Amino acid sequence: MSTSPADSFDVVEATVADVHAAMADGRVTAEALVDRYLARIDAYDGRLNAILAVNDDARERARRLDARFERDGLAGPLHGVPVILKDNQDTHDMPTTAGSAALAGSRPPRDAFVVERLREAGAVVVAKANLQELSFGVDTISSLGGETRNAYDLDRRPSGSSGGTAAAVAANLATVGTGSDTCSSVRSPPAFNDLVGVRPTRGLVSRSGIVPLSETQDTAGPVTRTVADAARMLEVMAGYDPDDPVTATGADEVPADGYVPHLDADGLDGARIGVAREFFGLRDEESASETDAAAVTTVVEEAVEEMAAAGAAIVDPVDVVDVDFLKSARVLQYEFARDFDRYLSELGDAAPYGSLAEVHGTGEIAPSIESRIDEAGILDVDVESLDENAGYLRRLRRRQRLRGTTLSRMTELDLDALLYPPSRVPPVEIPEHQPFTEMNCELSAHTGLPAIVVPAGFTDAGLPVGVELLGRDFAEPRLFELAYGFERATNHRHPPERFGELDGV
């Protein structure tokens, strides 16, 4: 292990700002920082099972950054910051597997656009995280990595599909992390692990080089311990990518001064928050208990009161959409095979298989994911005729209707954001599966509108609960104001007890 100029810097709960301040003071180097996080992964990941692979080049990259720092100062806004990537984001120097044993040998020729942006900003990729295999589900189970556990209760799920990133960041195995979100994946895992997660407006962040689930619903986003770090991450990740034409819609939407200036401790003062009651309470008595749902509702109700105390005007209730109609706008089942096959074709010789059907045919997919693919009829869809598929086209039209209805409702009531829990119930105990029907991921996923999740507190059983704020098109600056104001007013983020400071690191 490399020797730091001083051994006083504690990486537990360290932020990007903390890291850079310590570098400026000579208390830590990028190489020493990488060593400390790798030591934590080695010591703690056996309990979490959150990491699929560590980056053998991380130390050398950190050394190069240290040399540059001595010569020129910070190389970028994430200089030397250790990041964990969800392993569905292409890396030229590591395999990209989507958690699938069938893709264990897949080594893409180039980085995903967001990974390229992170590295250009100075970030150091220290590891890649486990995920729900192929991102299809909300448990974080994969044939390659097994089952990831919740950082606050090792007997429970971390949610998914970005559960590996969330558990790792919660346990301080890196400074920040990345996820992707088709429906829930950068929102419910942070909520279950006392973190911040951002699903950006569709078109703000590129999807190129990310193993897809649904071109219409997919996006990438940051997973962090603080709102400030989420803002810093999103500043870097956002941007126009000619390989993902939808990003043209967001090309001019990032503020010229970025998101960090919108970190206003008084961000809730004068805000108008609408409470979307249709997303509270148990939906299906066979999936969980009323007691479970009540535990989440109690915490979120307290969060609403805290927002009011911080100066927000609460509009309660707000009827936004019919939940059943919202569910009927899901297009993942139509697009999964089409988009996955396209991704494999773009890998060229690096692709171990040519199609989702071939990957499925290996028999190597984790049983719970394989059964979901079968039950959803994913491989029965004629992807060549989707442009003429009435059911698919009807769902696309419903998405536009839902988007218009939601924006109209927010405009009529002059709302800055809609509020609801990311999940109606807490993390379930393993081996139970997290009930998707109790997730509230679809409003953002089916409208393309942005959402941020922040820690809201804990149930009486000590399980983290998050609160989700959904904003208008490209209203990320306002969402950061609201979330930062709430974070500063409440300080609900607390690290898990099992993963404290290591002696000597």
- Encoded tokens for 90: 């292409």
Write the DSSP string, 374-387. Answer: HHTTGGGS-GGGGG
Which domains does the chain show, CATH number per domain? 16-499 (3.90.1300.10)
161 part of the active site: yes
Please report where in the chains the tokens 């819609």 appear, as a residue.
249
Coil/strand/helix, residue 82 = strand
- Tally the residues of the chain: 505
> What is the rounded CA–CA span in Å between residue 65 and residue 392?
48
pLDDT tens track for 22-66: 999 999 999 999 999 999 999 999 999 999 999 999 999 999 999
- Encoded tokens for 476: 């990320």
Catalytic residue selected from 143, 159, 161, 287: 161
Rounded to 10 degrees, the C-alpha dihedral 148/154/155/156 comes to -60
Provide mean pLDDT across the span 424-436.
Answer: 98
Catalytic residue selected from 142, 143, 185, 206: 185
pLDDT tens track for 104-140: 999 999 999 999 999 999 999 999 999 999 999 999 9
Q: Would you say 178 and 170 are in contact if contact means Cβ atoms under 8 Å apart?
A: no
Amino acid (1-letter code) at residue 276: A
pLDDT tens track for 313-370: 999 999 999 999 999 999 999 999 999 999 999 999 999 999 999 999 999 999 999 9
- Encoded tokens for 325: 């109609």
Q: Residue 450: its pLDDT value, please?
A: 98
pLDDT tens track for 251-264: 999 999 999 999 99
- Encoded tokens for 107: 């080594």
- Encoded tokens for 392: 């698919």
Percentages of the chain per state (helix, strand, coil), in multiples of 5: 40, 15, 45
Q: Would you say 45 and 137 are in contact if contact means Cβ atoms under 8 Å apart?
A: no
Q: Would you say 220 and 180 are in contact if contact means Cβ atoms under 8 Å apart?
A: yes
Give φ, ψ of 185 to 5 degrees: -75, -20
423 part of the active site: no
86 part of the active site: yes
> What is the rounded CA–CA span in Å between residue 485 and residue 121?
27
> CA of 305: how far to CAs of 9, 155, 201, in Å?
36, 31, 27
pLDDT tens track for 267-295: 999 999 999 999 999 999 999 999 999 99
| Beta carbons within 8 Å of 93's beta carbon, 6+ residues apart | 55, 57, 125
Q: Count of CB atoms within 10 A of residue 429's CB?
A: 11
